Amino acid sequence: MDAASAPATTPTIALLERLVSFDTTSRNSNLALIGFVRDYLDSHGVSYRVSTDASGQKANIHAVIGPQCAGGIALSGHVDTVPVDGQPWTGDPFSLRRRDDTLIARGACDMKGFVAACLAAVPDLQARKLARPIHLFISYDEEVGCGGAQRLIQDLGESGLLPSLCVVGEPSGMQPILAHKGKLNLRATVHGKPGHSSDPARGVNAVQAAAEAIAWIAQEARRVATNGPFDPAFDPPYTTIHVGTVQGGTILNIIPSHAEFTMEWRYIPGDSPYRHMEQMRRWIAETIEPGMKMVDPACGFSYDIELEMPGMSLPPDHELTGLIKQLTGSNSTGAVSYGTEGGFYEKAGIPTIICGPGHIAQAHQPDEWIAISELAACDRFIRRLADRLVA
């Protein structure tokens, strides 16, 4: 990295440079990064707990600054990232580069920038006499289902160090986000009967049965978009239904005996994905499966829920809403359609808000970037928060 492209040496940017150098794509172990963070916390005398996944190859950190007790507020960030495969990066994705007033690297925006700001604040936080603790949550696997947050919540139950409030630092332009949609992922498997394509009546075509179901799903998605229910806080303001993958068949002259597709509901607060799922299953059972079972009773559909991410909805008049608006100077709040770990923390009884540096449009992209001004705003935000927690 030459002098012209090198980032400035502020503590947050220096730590971000180290964090992005670890390839923590969700398919990989994050232990090297966690080891770096542990050494950093040790050097500043910060106590922490480590929790791991079943393989032991991925780990969370829960650090506590100030009184070693429950209560206080958590700052939460994940350190796994999406892949860079097939994206047209203009440089090494795992080496921080400066372009004008922005910093480029995988994870710079989503969301190692926030984690770097939290770690950079540690010396200042340690020097203050906090009356209530600041918790740092650093988690794995947010991008593939939030397994790290769920494991961290389990560890909170074991330790008893449950914070009273939580800020998830997902990129929001440092604006408070009170709500996000929930998500339900479903895999539908179609069991047909093979045969020669010259006599289709003797078999059951699993691909065509799947196609019938997908056509109904598309129609249902249009119906919900037109008729609601609606929540104007979101864009789009309704539950969305989406089929993302389809597989089936072997060669053209064999009636396919197997097909499957995956789909999701991203649902607004107050709507139930299970209501939509049962409506789909009922339609398939009444419309598609009878003809399949007339040929062979073993034919039909089966379903597996692969992931559920709860939505998040913090009341506008909650104390946390007022606090974050004061700290950021924002007069407004928002809601987003993407999911976060915040829904899991809220479900665990921790009122949660989203507020972090950068913008979601910059995440998951080639040459992912974050503005240096956003990191500076996050630095100020964390220190203002600490001021509120001093006796």
Is-catalytic flag, 142? yes
Six-digit token string for 71: 């209560």
For residue 5, being part of any structural domain is answered with no
Residue of 110, 142, 367, 368 marked catalytic: 142
Kindly tell me the sign of the dihedral angle through the C-alpha atoms of 355, 357, 358, 360.
negative
Are 203 and 285 in a shared domain?
A: yes
Looking at the DSSP bridge assignments, the partners of residue 75 are 136, 167
Is-catalytic flag, 100? no
Are 291 and 206 in a shared domain?
A: yes
Whole-number pLDDT of residue 3: 37
Residue of 80, 170, 260, 346 marked catalytic: 80
Are 329 and 191 in a shared domain?
A: no
Are 352 and 330 in a shared domain?
A: yes
pTM: 0.90
Instruction: Count the neighbouring beta carbons within 10 Å of the beta carbon of residue 297.
Output: 8
Last residue of a domain, one of 309, 324, 350: 309
Give the start-end residues of each E strand in 85-235: 97-99, 102-104, 134-139, 165-168, 177-180, 182-191
Looking at the DSSP bridge assignments, the partners of residue 390 are 130
Q: Give the count of domains, the chain.
A: 2
| Three-state DSSP state, 238 | strand
For residue 1, being part of any structural domain is answered with no
- Residue-number span of the structural domain to which 248 is assigned: 182-309
Last residue of a domain, one of 254, 283, 309: 309
State the CATH number of the domain containing residue 236.
Answer: 3.30.70.360
Mean pLDDT per segment of 10 residues, for the chain of length 391 residues? 52 97 98 98 98 98 97 98 97 97 97 98 94 97 96 98 98 97 97 97 97 98 98 96 97 97 96 97 98 98 96 96 96 93 97 97 96 96 92 58
State the CATH number of the domain containing residue 371.
Answer: 3.40.630.10
Question: Contact, 324 vs 355, CB < 8 A?
Answer: yes
Last residue of a domain, one of 309, 339, 367: 309
Whole-number pLDDT of residue 390: 83
pLDDT tens-digit readout, 24-62? 999 999 999 999 999 999 999 999 999 999 999 999 999
pLDDT tens-digit readout, 207-217? 999 999 999 99
Are 95 and 143 in a shared domain?
A: yes
